Amino acid sequence: MPDETRSRPLSPAIEELHEWWAEIRRLESIEALLSWDQETGMPASAAIGRSQQLSTVATLLHDRLTSDQLQRAIEKALQAEGTPLESAVALEARRRSGRALAIPRRLAGELAAAGAVGAASWQQARAENSFDRFQPALERMIRLKREQAAAIGAASGDLYDALLDEYEPETRAADLDRLFSHLESELSPRARALPVAPAAAVAGGAPAYPLERQREVGLRVVAALGFDPARGRIDASAHPFCITIGPDDVRFTWRADVHDLRPGLYGFLHEAGHALYEQGLPPDLFESPAGGAASLGLHESQSRLWENLVGRSPGFCRWLWAWLPEHLPVPFSTAEQLWAHVHEMARGAIRVDADQVTYDLHILARYRLERSLLSGDLEVGELIDAWHAVYADLLGVTPADANHGVLQDIHWAIGLFGYFPTYTLGNLAASQLFEAACAELGDLDAGFAGGEFAPLLGWLGERVHRLAATVSPAEVIVRATGRPLQADAFLRHVHELFEQMSEAVG
C-alpha cells in the first residue's frame, strides 16, 4: 500500500487550502484549552464568563468555516486532479464546511454557550442529586440540537443522522438499529445471568490506595505503553477526558478511588489510548482538514483496545503484578487473582463501572433515549421514567437515585447527542483490530508480560494513527483488518470472557 500521507509535495491548491485551514485548527486548539481549563482548574464561579468565551470562539470558527475564501479554496482543491490524499483533504474540508454552512452563525454561538452553561448546571444538579435542577438546561439544549439537526438535514430524513454524522461520518441510525438489535440479543441474556452490582460501594477503612501512589502507577504504565509526557500532560478532573491543544500538546485527565485500584488504573489506560492516537497523528498534517482522527468510533477503538484488550490481558496482569507492590499494597497472592479482580462482572446502573459484557447495553439505553428525545417522542419531563423502563428492560436494574441514573453522564449537558454509539463502534473496532494485530504479530501476550508494548503501538501507528482522516473510518478498518467492521470479533471476546468468569464463579 503506498504511503499516501507523505509521498510527495502537496499541490498549490491543497497548500492554499491548508493555509486557510490553519486558523481553523488554531481556533479549535484554543477551544480545546478553554474546555480543558474549564474541567481542570477554572473557578466554578467563572462558568458564565467561560461560556461567553467559548461562544465567541465558536462563532469565529463558524465564520472561518463558512467564509467565501475558504469555499473558493475548497472548490479549487476539488477541481484539481490530486492524489488520493489531496482528494481526501478537499472532501473532508467540504464536509466540515458544509456542516457549518448549514447552520446560522447565531446558533453556533448559542450551542457553545449552552454547552458551557449545561455543564455547570449538570454539575450543580449532581451536587444536589436532583434532576429538576438540570431539566431546564437539558430542555434548552435539546431545542438547540433539534434546530441544528433540522438545519443540517439528512438524506434519510432522520434528524439523528444529521448529528451522528459529526462524530461518525458515513454511519447511519438505520445501521445502528440493526447492530444494537443484534448486540441486545447476544448480550442481554448473559447480562441478566450476572449478579446485581451493589447499589453504591460503601467505602470502608483507611484509604488503601493513596492518589499520589496511584498516579505513579498510572505514569509508569502509560510511559511503558509509549505515551510521551514531553508532548502532553496529565491532570486530575472529575470526568476523565483526552484533548489535543497542539501537535505537541496532548493532555488527558484521570480520577481515582482510594478504595479501589481499578477506576484510576483503567482510566489511565483508557485515556492514554486516546492520547496515543493523537500523538501518533502525522504532525505535518496537523493544520489539514484531514489531519485529525478519522472518527470518534475509531478514537474509542484505541482507548478500549489499550484499556480492555491490553490492560486486562493475562500478560499485562502478570507484568503489573511483578512491580505493583513497589507502589501499592495489593491484596492478591497471584497474578491470576489480579486478572479475575479486573474482570469482575455484574449488572449495575453505572456505565463507567460496567464490565465488557454489560457496557454496550448501557450505550443502547442512551441511544434509544436520545433518539426519542430528539424525535420529540419523549419529553424531558418523562425522561426519568423512560430511563428506569429501559434499564429494567435491558439489564434488569433500577438506579438508586438521579446521580446513579440520568445524571451520571455529562454528554447531553454539553450537547453530545449522537455521540454515545461511537463507544460501541469503538468496542467492536478494538476487538477486530486486536485480532488482526495478533494474527500478524504473533503472541502479543508474552510481550505484554515482559512490559513490551512497542510492537502493538507500531502496528496501530502504521495502520490507524498515521492515516488520520485521509481515508474514511470504514476504510481504515478494511485496510487494517482486511474486512469491514463487524461484531463477531467483539462477541467472541466477550463471550469467552463471560465463559471464563462463569467457570471461575461456578
Does 247 bind a second copy (CB under 8 A)? Our answer is: yes
Among 60, 173, 281, 433, binds a second copy (CB under 8 A): 60
- The least distance separating a second copy from the CB of residue 59, rounded to whole angstroms, comes to 9
Does 231 bind a second copy (CB under 8 A)? Our answer is: yes
Q: How many residues bind a second copy (CB under 8 A)?
A: 34
Residue indicated by cell numbers 475564501: 69
**Residue 379-398 contact track with a second copy, rule CB under 8 A, x = bound:** --------------------
Toward a second copy, which CB reaches closer, 21 or 321? 21
Toward a second copy, which CB reaches closer, 211 or 346? 211
CA distance linking residue 125 with residue 121, whole number of Å: 6
Toward a second copy, which CB reaches closer, 175 or 249? 249
CA distance linking residue 169 with residue 167, whole number of Å: 6
Q: Which stretch binds a second copy (CB under 8 A): 89-97, 207-215, 226-234, 341-349?
A: 226-234
Does 223 bind a second copy (CB under 8 A)? Our answer is: no
- The least distance separating a second copy from the CB of residue 52, rounded to whole angstroms, comes to 6
Q: 35 Cβ partners below 8 Å, 6+ apart?
A: 54, 243
**Residue 327-356 contact track with a second copy, rule CB under 8 A, x = bound:** ------------------------------
Toward a second copy, which CB reaches closer, 58 or 74? 58
Contact call for residues 273 and 423 (beta carbons, < 8 A): no
**Residue 37-56 contact track with a second copy, rule CB under 8 A, x = bound:** x---xxxxxx-xxx-xx--x
Among 14, 17, 57, 89, binds a second copy (CB under 8 A): 57
CA distance linking residue 336 with residue 322, whole number of Å: 12
User: Which residues are catalytically annotated?
Assistant: 271
Other CB atoms within 10 Å distance of the CB of residue 439: 10
- The least distance separating a second copy from the CB of residue 19, rounded to whole angstroms, comes to 12
Q: At what angle do helices 173-192 and 359-375 cross, to 10 degrees?
A: 140
Give the burial class of 455: count Cβ atoms within 10 A of its Cβ; 0-12 exposed, 13-18 middle, 19 or more buried. Answer: middle
Other CB atoms within 10 Å distance of the CB of residue 258: 15
- The least distance separating a second copy from the CB of residue 61, rounded to whole angstroms, comes to 11
Angle CA 325–331–333, to nearest 5: 80
Contact call for residues 413 and 141 (beta carbons, < 8 A): yes
- The least distance separating a second copy from the CB of residue 65, rounded to whole angstroms, comes to 15
Among 249, 393, 462, 475, binds a second copy (CB under 8 A): 249
CA distance linking residue 278 with residue 264, whole number of Å: 21
Strand-pairing partners, residue 244, are 250
Contact call for residues 144 and 104 (beta carbons, < 8 A): no
Query: Of residues 16-35, which lie at the interface with a second copy (CB under 8 A)?
Result: 22-23, 26-27, 29-30, 33-34
Does 225 bind a second copy (CB under 8 A)? Our answer is: no
Toward a second copy, which CB reaches closer, 47 or 429? 47
Among 179, 197, 245, 269, binds a second copy (CB under 8 A): 245
CA distance linking residue 298 with residue 339, whole number of Å: 26
Other CB atoms within 10 Å distance of the CB of residue 483: 12
- The least distance separating a second copy from the CB of residue 127, rounded to whole angstroms, comes to 15
Contact call for residues 464 and 293 (beta carbons, < 8 A): no
**Residue 461-480 contact track with a second copy, rule CB under 8 A, x = bound:** --------------------
Toward a second copy, which CB reaches closer, 30 or 154? 30
All three cell numbers of 372: 426519542
- The least distance separating a second copy from the CB of residue 171, rounded to whole angstroms, comes to 31
Return the closest-CA partner of residue 486 out of 423, 418, 431.
Answer: 431
Q: Is 482 left (phi over 0), alpha (psi -120 to 50) or beta?
A: left
Collapsed DSSP state (helix, strand, coil) of residue 243: strand
- Enumerate binding residues for a second copy (CB under 8 A): 22-23, 26-27, 29-30, 33-34, 37, 41-46, 48-50, 52-53, 56-57, 60, 229-233, 235, 245-249
